[in-house]
Amino acid sequence: MNAVTTAEAPVPRGTARTVLLTLGSNIDPERHLLAALDRLDALLGIDALSAIYEADPVGSPGTPRFLNAAVRLTTHRAPGELKSDVIRPLERRLGRVRTSDPNAPRTIDIDIAAVEGLVLDGPDLRLPDPEIVSRAHLALPLADVAPAFQHPTEGVTLGEIADRFKDEAGIARRDDVRWP
């Protein structure tokens, strides 16, 4: 299991936490992003969905642009269980193939960005996602679903982090792409 800096366990079964997930796709992104949202809602229930953003790819110039979103949900599942039992199987079902290139095009990428009251620094899972503070495609959608969420290591809210990116080039809202 991951090294824990703030205790992940024990959380009594049935104790629910707010979880923030980020999603991205640049292979048939409208279809795959919306399918992932449908499935996440069926599996876990989505409490809030961000606007959908179109962003330049990171680390792979010349590859298709991404559609990105974030969701807020409430679950009793531990982050490791959520990742292994829900997120990874869902990604595989939607055609995600993991390669050695972390910036390769993908049908869907779903990441746990933050969990209420939790800081983890492990080899397989770091919470909150350290890139929230440096990537507009994470900060903006996350602020849409949880603007008052306090970033536990930065000491500011997600809304304050997103404000740093309000004039960022390479990212735009896609109000024409909607999930029911």
Taking alpha carbons only, the member of 84, 26, 50 closest to residue 159 is 50
pLDDT in tens, 100-148: 888 889 999 999 999 998 999 998 899 999 999 999 999 999 999 999 9
Residue 2 contacts residue 124 (beta carbons within 8 Å): yes
| Token reading at 62 | 């010349």
Instruction: Give this prediction's pTM.
Output: 0.91
**For residue 169, what are the CA distances in angstroms to 25, 63, 141, 148, 179?**
19, 17, 15, 24, 25
pLDDT in tens, 26-44: 999 999 999 999 999 999 9
Q: What pLDDT was estimated at residue 13?
A: 54
Q: Cite the DSSP H helix spans in 44-135.
A: 79-82, 88-93
Q: Which residues are CB-neighbours of 172 under 8 A, at least 6 positions away?
A: 53, 54, 55
Q: Which residues are CB-neighbours of 180 under 8 A, at least 6 positions away?
A: none
* 150 DSSP β-pair partners: 157
% of the chain residues with pLDDT over 70: 92
Q: In Å, how far from its chain's centre is CA 16?
A: 18
Domains, the chain, with CATH or none: 17-173 (3.30.70.560)
Residue 87: DSSP 8-state = I
> What DSSP string runs through 17-38?
EEEEEEEEE-SSHHHHHHHHHH
